[in-house]
Structure 1
């Protein structure tokens, strides 16, 4: 009997804000929320963005005046909305109107040699053959050029792309703990996974007391590695800029480093670790590994997630050179306006011209169903399956292909077998990849439309979170999963609000795409399908079950008495989780970063023929009996 992987906590940050307790989701459907929920989320964002301060647990303005949630909405709502979701690239990343580069200039000495004065230590090695050097006083030298010479000088030019999905204005993850020159993606990892762990409502030390050291797993990473100055970006640029590579840049730049940081500085885990990269489907690739570990019994607790910080000049120009990104000129042409609306740069399934890069970190905490009941963990959803298929032979590595037909069809067939055709036809929805490219709107809509037709689904609700937060590459399907959990919680399928209408070439005979939020009702949604299409033929589709469905399954499996006892234990968990949420809204995030403490003494490890005891872990690691190949031996 396979264990059911259930989601007991989630968190992170993207352009909509903090993900735990659905605050990021709430930012995307603000106009559809009750006033209390709307104002609470706005107040939390105001604190994150440093628009208000917190003194003795009270929001205050810069003059010390106390503020209620309603006050914050009235005074700061416009600024909060402008500083979240997709928007013009901000100075903390780069100036899109004046991106730095180097221009080559050729100097020709002509009839009169050119001379200049510099210090001796600045002379190139070896000295060019057409240079002559005359010693002056001190360390100065006079250089004479007898022929032409090429120089590179600082220059600035505008980028064609000027929009991105950025963390809320003013929110800097590296300010929340001792970041020690960490690349932005790793700083986001630390704060994002902390948010996910705190959201569980059960202390990590209590969780690991109930599992063996090797029954914990972490699958996390990034697609683009860490490309800012503290990672590979700085390492690659240092020689060209006349600088030196630091001792940290190469190691911290690895795309596997998010998982390593979680193990070494957050969890102190000695369990399974890995990072599966699948382009834009990377989160689902790691999610598949996580649920396989739980279903097989190899792990009982799994942290799955990604962190991506690609808003750099190099990433923008790289994807831009492929014609993949929405440019300012392209948006002008679509809108027929002299001014591009950068807030609506990401336009899934509408008239569009490319996707919008984004930064984000998203993490989910998974447990097997038995452990979740034992600990009284709150269940936000369940993940029975993730399907992955490649495209076969391809002409263009970046073009879409047939593999996504397989993943979507298998996901729907899996849900039909589990829940029945009626539930899938009437109580499911799709969180589409919705990258906002002209090719995607046609190919993905055709896949969804044909699969819907094959399974008798009419008017299948389809949404796309990239309309709000952009495309965060490795983290993109994490954005989708966590947005789907919000839809379950509030019974709202977000509208694709950045488009005026669905494009004429979108297939929608069996699909329902809306530009406004759809209020489906409490417990009206049983299952979400998460679809992701990545460069290179990396296709993945996941089945996410609503919490009320997961609870129904667990009640049947474990019996009513065991489930009632679980519900009693869950009350304490929910109370602890809610207390963290209220603290986080006031800026008290309690970042977990344990650098160099509680290190394991190798000599204190005890080894027998039956087990290993590791210091700091209550339960031993017991060697499991392996009879998989016993029939092949005498």
Structure 2
């Protein structure tokens, strides 16, 4: 089996529109949460999100790309361009069939669907749909348009496993390369869920924080006063490459993917298993896939969204797998970024990679009093980043429907 490495990264988010700015804000704990300006929020209990401010697609994409793509796809195209440039591979020196795209999203073209249906409803007896309505809403279109833009003719599909979608995509890309079916795969996830339907829907589920008076303090994972997550948007992209191919072309290699795994809770449509049984098994399987022991992991980037139930079940799962080992540190970086749904695993993969490269574990911000139901001994990094050597990092993502996705990155 082939070894798989990370040779490129790109990010589009309110926390940063490139890797340098994004990582600096993660380490400093600078939350970009603020009032939503995209629509009137008076109807909703939640009035804020980590919305990308002053986004202008024309700064990055041509007119035809914008006309044919939903916002989530635009984010994906921009982050993919960054990652491909960062990787520096030359498609002309390769067969295009050796380069693929596997990409995740939770909601796909929600923004397009919502706006087009409003126009339809207001159109009287002769409503008119945009001819690009269907392609723009499809969940596979980010993968498709990345492939079309860059001429990649290898494996191409999308994964949809709710908030585990990006980790599912990364795992599939890892396995395709590991088993010799591709040389390079562009992977990650994207979502643009700051819409009226999304905010209203998640409010109805009581999943979003309603701490409107102080949005930057709203996401507080593991805290006794947490009241839900902060909605975010954007994309994260990684270029995965077969190790010998990357070495032969003199690529800059960030780290290696050690292992990955998925399980199902088979428990509830929105709630995690209260004892984290599926999460425990996913972490164990990922460790087995990587050939690592729990003591080899220095950093766990927790899914921890700041919801009352989810944080406790994940904390129990981490404790069950790692048993309070002293060299492990846990952080919940959604406290800074907000929850980017299907893109969450991708931006958190970038955080895990950067932790390994820079020897920094970023902070969990806003957490003041740990919920007494959170198991002791997790070594949660609170308020300030810490410097430490990280040889391997594990990144958790969990999604509605009981999807558990775990990816492990390791120093090369």
Match of 2:11 in 1: 12
The DSSP-based 3-state class of the residue aligned with 1:543 is strand
State whether structure 2 residue 387 is matched by structure 1 residue 520. Answer: yes
2:365 to 497, 500, 508: 497
CA distance in 1, matches of 2:382, 2:84: 34
Q: What SS does the corresponding residue of 2:383 show, helix, strand or coil?
A: coil
**Distance change (3 Å), C-alpha of 1:174 and 1:499:** farther
Residues 291 and 384, structure 1, Cα contact 8 Å, conserved in 2: no
Does structure 1 retain, via aligned residues, the 8 Å contact 2:209–2:219?
yes
SS in 2 for 1:10: strand
| C-alpha distance 96-204 of structure 1, shift in aligned 2 (>3 A) | farther
1:379 equivalent in alignment to 2:253: yes
The answer to whether the 8 Å contact 1:383/1:545 transfers is yes
Residues 501 and 515 in structure 1, CA contact (< 8 A), matched pair in contact too:
no
Q: 1:481 aligns with which of 349, 359, 368?
A: 349
Pick one of 22, 26, 29 that aligns with 2:27.
29
User: Among residues 281, 289, 293, which one is paired with 2:164 in the alignment?
Assistant: 281
Residue in structure 2 matched with residue 183 of structure 1 by the alignment: 70
Aligned to 2:283: 408
Report what 1:88 is aligned to: 35
Distance 2:159 2:296 in 1: 34
Q: How many residues align?
A: 402
Alignment of 1:350-365 (within 5 A): 350=223, 351-365=225-239
Q: How far, CA to CA, are the matches of 1:11 and 1:467 in structure 2?
A: 21
Partner of 2:109: 226
Deviation at 1:473? 0.7
Question: What is the distance in 1 between the residues matched to 2:191 and 2:337?
Answer: 13
* Native 8 Å contact 2:259 2:287 kept in 1: no
Cα pair distance change 1:251/1:171, threshold 3 Å: closer
Specify which of 192, 199, 222 is matched with residue 316 of structure 1. Answer: 199
CA contact (8 A) 1:426 1:457 kept: no
TM-score by length of 2: 0.92
CA contact (8 A) 1:492 1:517 kept: no
Quote the Cα distance in structure 1 between the aligned partners of 2:330 and 2:382: 11
Which residue of structure 2 aligns with residue 439 of structure 1? Answer: 309
2:213 alignment partner in structure 1: 340
Which 5+ residue runs of structure 2 have no aligned equivalent?
Answer: none
SS class of match (1:17): coil
SS at match of 2:261: strand
**Could you tell which deviates more after superposition, 437-446 or 426-435?**
426-435
1:239 aligns with: 120
2:264 corresponds to 1:399: no
Equivalent residue, structure 2, for 1:204: 90
Q: Distance in 2 between matches of 1:518 and 1:186?
A: 32
Conserved in 2, the CA contact under 8 Å of 1:86 and 1:346?
Answer: no
Distance 1:347 1:14 in 2: 19
What's the RMSD between the two structures over aligned residues? Answer: 1.9
- The question of whether the paired residues in 1 share the 8 Å contact of 2:98 and 2:153 is answered with no
How big is each residue's C-alpha offset from its partner over 1:210-245, in whole Å with a ceiling of 9 and x where there is no partner? 3x33221110142112122xx222333232122421
Q: For 2:5 and 2:318, how far apart are their aligned partners in 1?
A: 26
Structure 1 unaligned residues grouped into runs of 5+: 32-80, 98-157, 332-338, 551-634
Query: Over residues 102-125 of structure 1, what are the superposed CA-to-partner deviations in whole Å (9 max), with x where a residue is unaligned?
Result: xxxxxxxxxxxxxxxxxxxxxxxx
Of the three residues 160, 169, 173, the one matched with 1:290 is 173
SS at match of 1:291: helix
- In 1, are the aligned partners of 2:44 and 2:203 still within 8 Å (CA)? no
Q: Which of 264, 288, 295 is the equivalent residue of 1:425? A: 295
Aligned to 1:162: 47
CA shift digits 1:358-385 (9 cap, x unpaired): 1011110011010010111111111121
The structure with higher relative contact order (CA 8 Å, sep 6+) is: 2
Deviations 1:572-620 (A, max 9, x none): xxxxxxxxxxxxxxxxxxxxxxxxxxxxxxxxxxxxxxxxxxxxxxxxx
SS of alignment partner, residue 170 of structure 2: helix
Q: Residue 256 and residue 426 in structure 1: after superposition, are their counterparts in 2 closer, same or farther (change >3 A)? A: closer
- After the TM superposition, which parts of structure 1 deviate over 6 Å for at least 4 consecutive aligned residues? none
Once the two structures are TM-superposed, the CA of residue 291 in structure 1 deviates from its matched residue by 0.8
- 1:303 is displaced (CA, Å) by 0.5
In 2, Cα distance between the equivalents of 1:182 and 1:389? 32
Match of 1:608 in 2: none
| SS in structure 2 of the partner of residue 474 of structure 1 | helix
Counterpart of 2:374? Answer: 506
Question: What is the CA distance between 1:173 and its match in structure 2?
Answer: 2.9
Displacement, 1:458?
3.1
CA shift, 1:203, in A, is 4.7
